[in-house]
Amino acid sequence: MANTIKSWADLKSLETKLNKGKDPKQRWIAVCIGPGCRVYGCLEVYEALKQEMQKQGVGQIPVKGTGCHGFCERGTLLVIYPEGIFYSRVKVDDIPEIVEQTIKNNQIVERLCCVDPKTNQKIVYEKDIPFYKYQKKLITGNNRKIDPTSIEDYIAIGGYSAFAKSLFEMTPDQVISEVKTAGLRGRGGGGFAAARKWESSRKAQGDPKYIICNADEGDPGAFMDRSIMEGNPHSVIEGMLIGAYAVGSSNGYVYIRHEYPLALQYATIAINQAREYGLLGENILGSDFSFDIKISRGGGAFVAGESSALMQSIEGRVAEPRAKYVHMAEHGLYNKPTVLNNVETWANVPLIINMGSKEYTKIGTENSKGTKIFSLVGKINNTGLVEVPMGVTLRQIIYDIGGGIKQGKKFKAVQTGGPSGGVLPADKLDLAVDFDRLTEAGSMMGSGGMIVMDEDNCMVDVAKYFITFLQEESCGKCVPCREGLKRMLEILNKITDGKGEESDMQTLDDLSDLLADGSLCGLGNTAQNPVLSTIKYFRNEYEAHIRDKKCPAKVCKALIKFQINKEKCTGCNLCLKNCPSNAITGQPKQKTYEIHQNKCVKCGICYDVCKFDAVIKE
């Protein structure tokens, strides 16, 4: 094949060729076509920009559709380099002006610039935006430089050189030792030392050995792996190659969740390209090392993200976890030695080799090295993906980067770690975020979801949400998990229905112990965290539900009622029209509207549709 890279020298010369004549001062434009911006219609913006540039005679300036830039709240994002002029909330209609003003005449289109919330000044450049200023984008930073469907873009920024360096300058043991010294811990949930898995698998007997990338990002509220897979898939493949070389594996799998069709598409393109360029397959770069990757699609089961269950799923079976005394590193996929890491962990590997463990360990805290990507979502001003060094505080993430709580409301809690994690209150805001501190506080790192909640969120409802989720997703193999979660949900339902009893919190506590001790996998072992952490930090809310039969946040249906404020009502009839249970009566344009409590199902639609805040929750 014409493009095959046959040696390290070939790879270097391709990189040189791709960068030849590239002037760092050359102008180019990046349009984010990541998952958040896609929802805002970025693809139309991207196409419109290309067409408009042709039309205005500047079609020679490169335009790239890139992966996620992180600042999803302000999508569609358009950045003009080399200056880094940052335009947000860009719509198709803005394109002619951007091309005319900025691209042709170096004038700033001010209305598309972000505003500094503190000074109310417009911010022109990406580097000055608070959302980016406090981040350290080691893993996600390249997203904005490359087209994820182009292997040449990745090679041009030095891609695959870490793998080549490992292959030709390091022994497998040296690679493992480098990753060990770097202190790389798994970014998928448990935070297990990656090098320890690699080492056991390297030493284990059995052939073939497998390398798996877990891209079954099942934690609701987390999308960092999706953004890497859709933004820089080659960095994951390169990490897997380095891992495969270190472990002595020739077979790899990427297990991608069914809900991420685009990640599947981009991973497929990337793997095919790597194969075409000779970076996957037999005798890679002219060495005697061979490795190839297959893709396996998930089927929409949360528990399949658990490593042993995932392997069952790849084998074509129901994704049920198995006991942990059998180590995956020795008896994993098809009962062979297997190393499984998640997307973000693999993407860290080339970085460690390139930087060297000495530099890498300068980032982070004593036992948590490097950066961590969080999906900062919920009731926060700047929602999006943020990458920060381990050890920054929750306050820095939520206030400095996230810009605080939406609509000036009061911060109540932040939920980290997905369904296995916990909820942390305001007095934990100065907690330095790393694997160990989060666990100590009763939550966990998990895969990096960070869901911010304000005064309108009910903590009992949040606990109920997670238990509902987990009891649906429990595979049913272990009785404590299957039955225990159902009973916990019953109790939580009882509490939110206003029928709670004083003894309920103790029963929840007892059931929690049972789950932790009697379940095989992480789903059951940690399922009690959302309940225990909300009881620990928000006991008063439980008590208000149980003793006073009140939901302080006005969320739990059985404990609230909707009424119409006749002063504010304009008689627009919208509530009546949308009421599913015909509980509202009234005459249009007259202030006679009324909600009949005996018919009201408390769906909240009237509250939501009213434009005049005339529907009140009590």
Using CB under 8 A as the criterion, which residues of the chain lie in contact with other proteins when the complex forms?
35-36, 38-40, 72-73, 75, 217-223, 226, 258-261, 296-302, 313, 315-319, 375, 377-379, 383-385, 415, 418, 449, 451, 453, 457, 462, 465-466, 469, 473, 475, 574, 578, 580-581, 603-605, 608-609
Amino acid at 366: E
Min separation Cβ 186 and other proteins, Å: 20
Q: Minimal distance in Å, beta carbon 246 to other proteins?
A: 27
Q: Which is nearer to other proteins, 185 or 226 (CB)?
A: 226
Q: Select 246 or 600, whichever has its Cβ closest to other proteins.
A: 600
Alpha helix segments (H runs only) across 232-384: 233-247, 261-276, 307-314, 343-355, 357-360
List the one residue out of 383, 472, 495 whose CA is nearest residue 419. 472
Beta strand 422-425 with 338-342 is unpaired
CB of 611 to other proteins, least distance (A): 9
Nearer to other proteins, 251 or 357 (CB): 251
**Choice between 278 and 425, CB closer to other proteins:** 425
The answer to whether the peptide bond before residue 172 is cis (omega within 30 degrees of 0) is no
- Nearest approach, Cβ of residue 516 and other proteins (Å): 22
Distance of closest approach, residue 38 Cβ to other proteins, in angstroms? 7
Amino acid at 44: E
Question: What's the closest the beta carbon of residue 35 comes to other proteins, in angstroms?
Answer: 5
State how far the Cα of 495 lies from the Cα of 551, in Å rounded to an integer: 10
Q: What are residue 64's phi and psi, to 5 degrees?
A: -115, 135
What are φ and ψ of residue 293, in 5° steps? Answer: -125, 135
Give the integer Cα–Cα distance in Å for 200 and 542.
46
Pairing between strand 28-32 and 63-66? parallel
Query: What beta strand segments (E) does 146-221 contain?
Result: 210-215
Closest CA to 507 of 523, 524, 490, 519: 490
Contact by Cβ (8 Å): 233, 148: yes
* Cβ density class 23-45: b for 16+ within 10 Å, e for less: eeeebebbbbbbbbbbebebeeb
Positions of E strands within 56-123: 63-66, 78-81, 85-87, 114-115, 122-123
* Between 38 and 180, CB nearer to other proteins: 38
Q: Which is nearer to other proteins, 21 or 316 (CB)?
A: 316
Q: Which helix (H) or strand (E) holds 167?
A: helix 161-169
- Whole-number minimum distance, CB 229 to other proteins, in Å? 10
Give me the least distance between CB of 458 and other proteins, in Å please.
10
Give the residue with the Cβ less far from other proteins, 235 or 375.
Answer: 375
Strand ranges for 51-184 from DSSP E: 63-66, 78-81, 85-87, 114-115, 122-123
How far apart are alpha carbons 602 and 580 in whole angstroms? Answer: 10
Residue 302 C-beta: closest distance to other proteins, Å: 6
Q: What is residue 296's three-state secondary structure?
A: strand
Query: In terms of CB distance, is 199 or 541 closer to other proteins?
Result: 541
What single-letter amino acid sits at 482?
R
Nearer to other proteins, 78 or 553 (CB): 553
What is the smallest separation between the CB atom of 543 and other proteins, expressed in angstroms?
A: 22
Which conformational region is residue 326 in: left (phi greater than 0), alpha (psi within -120 to 50 degrees), or beta? beta
Query: Between 203 and 599, whose beta carbon lies closer to other proteins?
Result: 599
**Does 82 sit behind a cis peptide bond, omega within 30 degrees of 0 on the bond before it?**
yes
